[in-house]
Structure 1
Amino acid sequence: MTQPPQPPQPPNEPPQGGFGPPQEPPAGGFGAPQEPPAGGFGAPQDPPPGGYGYPTQPPQPPQQPGYGYPTQPPAQPPTQPPYQQQYQPPYQQQPFQQQQYQQFQQPQPATAFGVPGAGDGGGKKSKTQLQIIIAAAVAVVLIIGTGVYFLTSSGDGDKNEAKDGSSSSSDGGKDGDKGVSGGGGKEQAPVNTKAKVAFQVPLPKVTDLTSVYGSWLSDTTYVKTGINQIVGYDLVKGTQLWTIPLPGEPCAKTDHVSKDYKTAIAFAAGKPTADNKYPRCTKVGVIDLKAGELLWSKSVKGTNAGDRDVGFSEITLSGETVAGGGFDGGAAFDLNTGAIRWKPDVSSDGCYDSGYGGGDGLVAVRRCGSSSDPQLSVQALNPLTGAPISSYKMPAGVDYPHIVSSKPLVVAADVGDTAGDGSGISDFFSIDEKTGKLRARISAAGKFEARCGSTDVEKCSLIVVGNDKIYLPTAEHEGEAEYGRTNEIVSYDLATGKSTTDRADAGERYKMYPLRMDGSNLLAYKTPPYDKGGQIVSLDGSSFKETLLMENPGDKAIRDAESGFGTISGVEIRYQDGRMFIASPFLSKPSEYDSRRYLAMSFTTKK
């Protein structure tokens, strides 16, 4: 372990060109808390010329790549939802900036809740005027109806029943949902939810597409993968605490962290050379996120790889077991010692483990048959021995199952290549991990923004499982605002496969995506529109009522930086105790847009 020099204190303005330390800030500092306007946030303001929904400045073309939305009002309303483009995982070696701008090159029909044509890509004045007329008429009816209601309602015993998954309560929540456990969450709203920039990690120079997969948190440290290294940063100040050099590029990671802050990675055994430009990913290791130590690393050989070391494309963690998978088969190690629990082997019938899903349980994807006609099953395993506990045979037409959750067991798959939207998901399968019986099957094609890597076993994003439900962001669709699109988070019952009454609206010009469970509550991130910062919110596990935990600054320079980390399905976002960390999983060679890009960035509501 080496001790690198400390970086400069957090800059107050992103660098204006190239790489290296940020430049001197203006007075007040980049990310310094701003005073609210007179009357406080949310105070009524005079409408701008042209009415509400119109930008106050002439529309400008996009200035900075981001979550698929320009940071300035678009000159023309967008013609398609940003995340509907064909998903391109990093291993396909697509240039980073090309990924970010793919949305502008591949127009696709807008969808809302999976219904084609529900959104037309932007507001239209005629439609807005019609909506105003309708709204006025409805308001009159509601005023009259409200008076009738209060005269005739009995009060306590009356309940409105939600239909089609929408909520009957006025706060956007739901009534009387059962089966929620966990007693709420640890994350609480601060007195002041207005956040400031805590620190930024400068963007290192690279000459080619380079993977920097991995962001983790301990109680004292933010840990981020760098160029052939893992670096720990002070959670508050952002100063480097330690560095772990690696012999080659990190190529696989897991988001799972043990109770004592250990996690697993896979990396190449050496750096690229003229003779070997793409070294294989053959090393598995475990990192102590608090101590800043690589506890062990090793390679293994297996019958499927001949004399070569086994190559790993994925790594995961469950309890005291680290499991890695790839085309050579799967292997497992003791978390603390690195002792091999089992190693790659091909059975007499040609079957092998192609990958694993970890977390509360350990699940293997078992592959048999030929590559052109594979027979696939999902097996719940004993993490200590690898012995199967149960097995579920995937239906025909599934080439690559994706483990969304190991307990409860949820699998995503594109059955017969019917997803049609590049998400890799046409259906979710809820499976009893004890018996291997199917509990429910949920159709997902075209309905949600969830994504899974094309061939990866455990690389799905924008999906959270908890409370025996699966939480999903709906496809973006047109809202009421003149510019901008919106979406919702909804859930499905894993026992029945039916939609629940959970429904959280992102709000005009925001898009909302689930992050993780916090006890029985769901944490979500709202991507910023062109004139505001992003938000972290908590959705109550029972009522689905939204609580704002953090709102990032709306200054243009900060918005550009927050939105410059790539498409939302690939961005690494961590939130803990009033601190948000955002980072990219891969980097590309320098471009004209890098003046507003960082390796990682932190926001905080702490004073």
Structure 2
Amino acid sequence: MTQPPPPPPNQPPQPPNQPPQAPPPGYGYPQPAPPQPPAQPGYGYPQPPAQPGYGYPQPPAQPGYGYPGAQHNPYAQPTPPGYGYPGQPGYPGQPVTVPMQPQPGKGGGRNNTALLIVVAAVVAIALIIGGGVWYARSSGDDGKKHDTASSGGKNGAGTSGGTSGGGGKEKAPADTAAKVLFQVPMPRTDDTIGTTGSWLTDTVYAKSGIAEIVGYDPAKGTKLWTLKLPGPVCAASSHVTSDGLTAITFQPKMPTKDRTAGCSEVAAVDLTAGTKLWTKSIKTGDIPITFQNVTVAQHTVAVGSSDGGAAFDIGSGKVLWQPKPDDTCYDAGYGGGTRLVAVRKCGAYDNRQLHIQTIDPKTGKVISEYKMPAGVEYASVVSTDPLVIAADVGDSAGDGSGVSDYFSIDGRTGRLLARISAPGDTYGGHCDGITRIEGCRQIAAGHGRLYLPTEVHDGSGQYDKTNEIVAFDLTTGKPARGRAEAGDGYTLSPLRMDGGNLLAYMAPPWNKGGQVVSIDGDSLSTTKLLENPGTRSVHQGESGLLPEYAEILFGKGRLYMSAVFAHKTDSAYGKEYLLMAFGTDG
């Protein structure tokens, strides 16, 4: 297939004595969803970002800020269509919460065998008798420690959160001023190549490059190991087991200009040693299946596709299940972490039924099931514990975000707890339920709540834009009191849970550095953990790695920002980086 087009370079900067550009037509209103690429074999990685510097407002003229007034302003970048904001600043309108009754389904085993879902009365009795032990045993717990953390191994707390605000591992240092720890320039290439995948453990920060993964010392940036691959990484799990294992899919060879090699290879990677434990592929007939997504749950690697799902033991590579020729339903993909959740599709394309199934990671046996409303073609897993699903119901989001509603589901029983409406012109966050079942950004769930950013809107200054983070109760769907405010010129994006706290990144105004803040899960009060340098060169690099399209990890007081594509660069528009790492002295 044709390679995805490279991201366009930054537009020529504006002279500093000119006022900020007027927003493009339609700015502030939902934009039509961008056309999706055709379903071609080998399509298995996200589209390149639409614009480096996405989301940055135009700065006012500032003669004397490190350059003469007659020079071009390096920070003046147009705001791309689609990054809208409500016409009036302030607290967004309350969402509509619609409680719905779960619909009993035929359980679907991975081999299409009808697996019975225990009726509610029996489940209630089991929960009363066994408490939390019931779920642990049903989940295939073999007594071994197979905990799986999201986005960064032991440093990245999962999404379940705590029972009260606070309790996070990340603490504010005495001095929050950060410095650049290390940075890696964008690799040289004449094409656009996927570099999806970054992981953080106690001993290594690892990042995908062009047909390789490199492990770095988290503080110094020294290369610890390099794992060469025959082709680019297509998809990478954000989950890491307690012993430093994760999983990827990749192409068996380098793509050509007119065709990829298909994302057919699945591998487990030891992030401590920098080695592949095994490589597997699954065929339908004589054709290898292309897997668009991969995840890790406990000790299982699960991959999904339009041809069905497969799973492997992460240590040995043993096949746990794979598509069957007579399947009438298929696992489009999975969400991982402490639990494994399948998005299973049944029926014809124009009459699709989506089943959200919590399954045993060792056997694929269905533990609970919820049927999505009729007409929902795609769904994304925001979190498996608590179980939160995002969907664009009736293609009503209207802004290309892929989300109009969130579904909070009891993972043990399959009962819908709440449906939270999130209009695209009011709330931010993005999900790609078409090819990336876990492809949600700027959204977090935990501590019994769903945390969403509002869309960017006017601040108090003439050119200032800002936003907030708000929370919703996952049991009732009602909005929580309070909000975390970014402040004029800054925009907030949720990163992950840290105990009962939420970690968030604050994209800065044109003359400041970005920040990481900890937000109390109850009060939504913020504490600054880190602030990047606001120098011209650092800001320019950081502005190309914003959370709308880059991968951002934070742990032990260090921030890692990395690109998901390598592409041909143009020196006229400044230096671009594959990754940048920041840290404080605290």
What TM-score range do you get, normalising by the shorter chain?
0.7 to 0.9
In structure 2, runs of 5+ residues without a counterpart are 1-10, 38-42, 56-76, 96-160
Aligned partner of 1:240: which letter? K
> Is 1:358 equivalent to 2:336 in the alignment?
yes
* Equivalent residue, structure 2, for 1:367: 345
Q: Report how far residue 75 of structure 1 moved.
A: 2.6
Pick from 111, 114, 122 the counterpart of residue 85 of structure 2: 111
Distance in 2 (CA, whole Å) between partners of 1:282 and 1:109 is 34
Aligned partner of 2:577: which letter? Y
Structure 1 residues 193-232: aligned runs within 5 Å:
193-232=176-215
Identity score, percent: 49
Q: Report how far residue 531 of structure 1 moved.
A: 0.9
The 3 A distance-change label for structure 1 pair 74 and 241 is farther
Contact 1:196 1:604 in 2 (8 A): yes
The 3 A distance-change label for structure 1 pair 374 and 77 is same
> Is 1:283 equivalent to 2:250 in the alignment?
no
Q: Report how far residue 82 of structure 1 moved.
A: 11
* Equivalent residue, structure 1, for 2:69: none
> Is 1:570 equivalent to 2:515 in the alignment?
no
Distance in 1 (CA, whole Å) between partners of 2:226 and 2:322 is 30
Residues 441-462 of structure 1, C-alpha deviations (whole Å, 9 max, x = no match): 0001222111001502111111
Secondary structure of the corresponding residue to residue 287 of structure 1: strand
* Equivalent residue, structure 2, for 1:380: 358
Secondary structure of the corresponding residue to residue 374 of structure 2: coil
Pick from 486, 503, 523 the counterpart of residue 506 of structure 1: 486
Q: Report how far residue 105 of structure 1 moved.
A: 7.8
Secondary structure of the corresponding residue to residue 400 of structure 1: coil
> Is 1:493 equivalent to 2:473 in the alignment?
yes
* Equivalent residue, structure 2, for 1:543: 523
Compare 79-88 and 355-364 and name the one that shifted more.
79-88
Q: Report how far residue 437 of structure 1 moved.
A: 1.2
Distance in 1 (CA, whole Å) between partners of 2:168 and 2:35 is 34
Contact 2:268 2:314 in 1 (8 A): yes
Distance in 1 (CA, whole Å) between partners of 2:512 and 2:32 is 24
* Equivalent residue, structure 1, for 2:224: 241
> Is 1:401 equivalent to 2:379 in the alignment?
yes
Distance in 2 (CA, whole Å) between partners of 1:445 and 1:356 is 25
In structure 1, runs of 5+ residues without a counterpart are 1-60, 65-69, 121-162, 166-177
* Equivalent residue, structure 2, for 1:440: 418
Distance in 2 (CA, whole Å) between partners of 1:414 and 1:300 is 31
Structure 1 residues 19-34: aligned runs within 5 Å:
none
Secondary structure of the corresponding residue to residue 294 of structure 1: strand
The 3 A distance-change label for structure 1 pair 361 and 101 is closer
Distance in 1 (CA, whole Å) between partners of 2:510 and 2:79 is 20
Q: Report how far residue 76 of structure 1 moved.
A: 3.5
* Equivalent residue, structure 2, for 1:464: 444
Pick from 243, 262, 280 the counterpart of residue 260 of structure 1: 243
Q: Report how far residue 552 of structure 1 moved.
A: 0.7
* Equivalent residue, structure 1, for 2:312: 333
Contact 2:376 2:394 in 1 (8 A): yes
Residues 394-431 of structure 1, C-alpha deviations (whole Å, 9 max, x = no match): 11121111111112111100111111111111100111
Aligned partner of 2:20: which letter? A
> Is 1:297 equivalent to 2:274 in the alignment?
no
Structure 1 residues 17-96: aligned runs within 5 Å:
63=13, 75-76=20-21, 78=23, 80=27, 86=33, 96=49
Q: Report how far residue 246 of structure 1 moved.
A: 0.6
Pick from 358, 361, 367 the counterpart of residue 389 of structure 1: 367
The 3 A distance-change label for structure 1 pair 345 and 99 is farther
Contact 2:502 2:518 in 1 (8 A): yes
Contact 1:397 1:417 in 2 (8 A): no
Distance in 2 (CA, whole Å) between partners of 1:434 and 1:95 is 37
The 3 A distance-change label for structure 1 pair 451 and 218 is same
Contact 1:77 1:483 in 2 (8 A): no
Q: Report how far residue 273 of structure 1 moved.
A: 4.7
Aligned partner of 2:212: which letter? Q
Q: Report how far residue 81 of structure 1 moved.
A: 5.8
* Equivalent residue, structure 1, for 2:254: 271
Q: Report how far residue 272 of structure 1 moved.
A: 2.4
Q: Report how far residue 216 of structure 1 moved.
A: 0.6
The 3 A distance-change label for structure 1 pair 63 and 258 is farther
Distance in 2 (CA, whole Å) between partners of 1:228 and 1:451 is 27
The 3 A distance-change label for structure 1 pair 196 and 106 is closer
Q: Report how far residue 368 of structure 1 moved.
A: 1.2
Contact 1:363 1:406 in 2 (8 A): yes
Distance in 1 (CA, whole Å) between partners of 2:52 and 2:534 is 25
> Is 1:520 equivalent to 2:500 in the alignment?
yes
Contact 2:52 2:543 in 1 (8 A): no
Q: Report how far residue 182 of structure 1 moved.
A: 7.4
Aligned partner of 1:118: which letter? Q
Secondary structure of the corresponding residue to residue 577 of structure 2: coil
Whose Rg is larger?
1
Q: Report how far residue 371 of structure 1 moved.
A: 1.8
The 3 A distance-change label for structure 1 pair 196 and 82 is farther
Secondary structure of the corresponding residue to residue 537 of structure 2: helix
* Equivalent residue, structure 1, for 2:126: none
* Equivalent residue, structure 1, for 2:510: 530
The 3 A distance-change label for structure 1 pair 418 and 380 is same
> Is 1:585 equivalent to 2:564 in the alignment?
yes
Distance in 1 (CA, whole Å) between partners of 2:465 and 2:29 is 9
* Equivalent residue, structure 2, for 1:192: 175
Give the length in aligned residue pairs.
478
Secondary structure of the corresponding residue to residue 482 of structure 1: coil
Secondary structure of the corresponding residue to residue 559 of structure 1: helix
Residues 174-198 of structure 1, C-alpha deviations (whole Å, 9 max, x = no match): xxxx983475111111111111111
Secondary structure of the corresponding residue to residue 557 of structure 1: helix
Contact 2:309 2:322 in 1 (8 A): yes
Distance in 2 (CA, whole Å) between partners of 1:526 and 1:109 is 16
> Is 1:449 equivalent to 2:449 in the alignment?
no
Distance in 2 (CA, whole Å) between partners of 1:543 and 1:93 is 35
The 3 A distance-change label for structure 1 pair 62 and 554 is farther
Structure 1 residues 413-424: aligned runs within 5 Å:
413-424=391-402
Secondary structure of the corresponding residue to residue 372 of structure 1: helix
Secondary structure of the corresponding residue to residue 251 of structure 1: strand
Distance in 1 (CA, whole Å) between partners of 2:541 and 2:343 is 39
CA RMSD of aligned residues (A): 2.9
Residues 203-262 of structure 1, C-alpha deviations (whole Å, 9 max, x = no match): 111111111001111112110000000000111211211100111111011111111111
Q: Report how far residue 307 of structure 1 moved.
A: 1.7
Distance in 2 (CA, whole Å) between partners of 1:196 and 1:584 is 20
Contact 2:29 2:84 in 1 (8 A): no
Distance in 2 (CA, whole Å) between partners of 1:438 and 1:367 is 18
Pick from 591, 596, 605 the counterpart of residue 575 of structure 2: 596
The 3 A distance-change label for structure 1 pair 73 and 97 is farther
The 3 A distance-change label for structure 1 pair 204 and 495 is same
Contact 1:83 1:449 in 2 (8 A): no
